[in-house]
A and B are shown apart, each in its own frame.
Chain A
Amino acid sequence: MNSSNSSLNALVKDQSKNLIEIHNLKKIYQLGKTTVEALRGVDFSVAEGEFTVVLGPSGSGKTTLLNIIGCLDRASSGSYLLDGEDVSNRDFNDLAEVRNYKIGFIFQNFNLIPVLNVIENIEFPCLVRKEQESRAQLRERVRALCAEVGLERFMKHKPDELSGGQRQRVAIARALITQPRLVLADEPTANLDSNTSDQILELMQRLNRDHATTFLFATHDPRVMDLARRTVRIKDGMVVAN
């Protein structure tokens, strides 16, 4: 209870600090002779600890925006500051390090590594780091996270032995094990039934509260919108409501 309160206090204290700051961000794709403007000058910021949802119809540019925020893609122009650092011109390996240390991903299709079991999937992002904590310490944290997301009984299971909800729980644990500043979730409930979706959303909300981790969603799911403290609406590559 105490830890929950202190997290909330920290959240309130740092509310003014922006984790993500985007100015006039543009993304242009060249498809043969056609030029497609996926983002047309987006200005956008997310404060630390926020639980934000990016809304928009298909083709509106929300996935492109999330990819750029997740350092998976580069903008054609504009600036992007993540945790105060300009990451728009970093090379591949630098961006890999940024992703590994600062960003956690939750995908619509869970994207677990099939040959690794639950524990191995969760600890994987930590094992590819240059500087690693001790294996025992890491395993301890993995076990704690498994308990937190309700996977204690499935730690040795392979992804194909789990249900969709369980797989998404593994993906959430994997996103959080690196203690990232930001968790990006692209349609995290799209492949889940309503009950499981509710459980997953509740879990993410709890984690946001307990860990003070910033969550940014791209979704169509109205239940996610209901939970969001902030909604950013995007249309035709521009932010139309914030």
Chain B
Amino acid sequence: MSPLFSMSFRNLTRNRRRTLLALGAVVVGLCALTLLRGFVNAVRQAQLAATLYGTTGMLQIHHKGYVKNVLSNPLDLAFEDSLQLRKTILSTAHVLALSPRLQFSGSLSATEPLSSNPQELANSEPKTTFLSANAVDPELDRKVMPQLYEWVIAGQVFTNASDSAFVVHRDIAGPLGIDDISQNLAQPKEQWPVLLAPDKEGALSGDALQISGLLGSAVPTDKRLALAPLKTIQRLLKMENQITEYVVRLDDVVHAEIVQTELTSRLGDKFEVSRWDELAPFIKDLLSNVDKIFGYITAVFLLVIMLGIVNSMFMNVMERVREIGTMMALGIRRGYILSLFVLEGAFLGALGALLGLSVGVLIVFVASRIGIRIPAPGSTIKFVLHPFVTQKFLFDSFVFTTCGAAFVSLWPAFRASRLRPVEALSAV
């Protein structure tokens, strides 16, 4: 067997300082890439989880035309929450749970000044604020949108669909003078704010509801958000058993498209089934842009790494011209010389990638165990990021770095293989 492999590997140990420098560049580069990928993955995961388990859900089922007309009058396109419908949805493959919801808009007015501060009392006037609310059955909704309930930053969520309490965003509660939720819970019913909401016909209905909890912002657009008990709101809006949507949770979001097709066919023309990425296209774009930016950064990193390798390989060739001449004198073909240097580059890349990825994975693992608390842009909720990298990323990085190093080594290797034996032998 030809000593090509062992010679290529051993040649790396000849000029240790240069090999270490080239190796160092690969190790640092790959380690930094792994950390960046781990962080980007964590951000993507957190953003996706916030969307899938806190904002849109994986799938939503509406009356046909609802998504297009949601801003005009969503209640017009409400439909009956029937046991038959629920069974049909839940019996579909990959569906884990569903939550019936009634989306409505309204205003919330404080009937009495709620503050206990005498100064504020003197200056206070009845206050009103607008909200865009989801009426939910908390028991079912928690199973479909668990993350939403983690964003309750004070107080608690009502326990059943018939409660007279609701949860509002803290930006809604602020103008109503509700700063301390525990103090607010102790107030008598007469001091509860009144929810006024238009029913299907546009007639306003109102009822006093207690604010039991405050929501923080997960995304910049949800500051008008409130959660209300489904049955209480259905009664208030005279829409017994009516809902505007089912939010559906699947065993895995990758099945969203299959389930969408299946449900569209099973539910018939009256309903439309929308995926999360159709309901929140900006999130999909955001995630895709994050990948693109990471791709550009990766390309720059790899380019720098490859330049380091090609420089090191050129130095190796220049240093070993006479040795190349000797090997040629001994009867080695040009292809052998080419392979020798290409393999040397590949070993350098492979070794650097192995070390860089190992160190990177170790740091990512520790960071994941600790968790990185970081606020999302425009959010008041701090996400806890758990960086991770996939096996595919590690495999691709290893293969790409090794093959890339071999590829860029072709240049110096080709130069080496084209040397004339007589000139190479006379090199100093």
Contact = CB atoms under 8 A, between A and B. Distances in A.
Given A67-B422, A72-B421, A100-B331, A128 B322 contact: no
A127 B330 contact: no
A99 interface: yes
Residue with the greatest number of chain B CB neighbours at <10 A, chosen from A92, A115, A116, A124: A115
Nearest to B327: A113
Interface in B1-43: 1-3, 7, 10-11, 13-14
Interface string A98-127: 111100010101011111100010001101
A178 B329 CA distance: 13
Contact of A113 (B7, B333, B334): B7
Contacts of B13: 115
B425 interface: yes
A98 B327 CA distance: 14
Interface residues of A, number: 30
Nearest to A114: B14
A128 B326 contact: no
Contacts of B330: 99-100, 105, 124-125, 128, 174
Given A72-B422, A73-B422, A111 B333 contact: no
Contacts of A178: 331
B425 A127 contact: no
Most buried by B among A73, A96, A127: A96
A151 to B, nearest CB: 18
A111 B11 CA distance: 16
A92 B336 CA distance: 13
Interface in B221-260: none
Given A113-B326, A116-B3, A127-B2, A99 B11 contact: no
Contacts of A174: 330
A66 B332 CA distance: 19
Nearest to B7: A115
Does more than half of chain B's interface fall in helix, strand or loop, or is it mixed?
helix
B328 interface: yes
B8 to A, nearest CB: 9
A206 interface: no
Interface string A199-225: 000000000000000000000000000
A67 B325 CA distance: 12
Contact of B329 (A70, A120, A129): A70
B329 A72 contact: yes
A111 B326 contact: yes
Contact of B10 (A98, A112, A115, A127): A115
A116 B326 CA distance: 13
A124 B3 contact: yes
Nearest to B332: A128
B328 A96 contact: yes
B422 A116 contact: no
Q: Which of the listed residues B1, B13, B325, B332 has the most CB atoms from chain A within 10 Å of its own CB?
A: B332
B323 A113 contact: yes
A225 B79 CA distance: 113
Nearest to A99: B331
B59 to A, nearest CB: 62
A107 B326 contact: yes
A210 B11 CA distance: 37
B16 to A, nearest CB: 13
Interface in B326-351: 326-334, 336
Contacts of B328: 72, 96, 99
Contact of B1 (A67, A93, A127): A127
B322 A111 contact: yes
Nearest to B417: A92
B1 A135 contact: yes
A93 B422 contact: no
A105 B329 contact: yes
A183 B331 CA distance: 14
A125 B323 contact: no
A101 B334 contact: no
B348 to A, nearest CB: 15
Contacts of A70: 329
A73 B10 CA distance: 30
Given A73-B422, A97-B331, 7 more contacts: A93-B334, A96-B328, A99-B331, A105-B330, A115-B7, A125-B330, A128-B331
18 contacts: A72-B328, A72-B421, A72-B425, A73-B421, A92-B333, A96-B334, A99-B330, A99-B331, A107-B425, A111-B325, A113-B327, A115-B10, A115-B13, A116-B7, A128-B331, A128-B333, A135-B1, A178-B331
List the 7 closest pairs (A to B, CB-CB), nearest first.
A100-B331, A115-B10, A111-B326, A73-B422, A125-B330, A99-B331, A72-B421
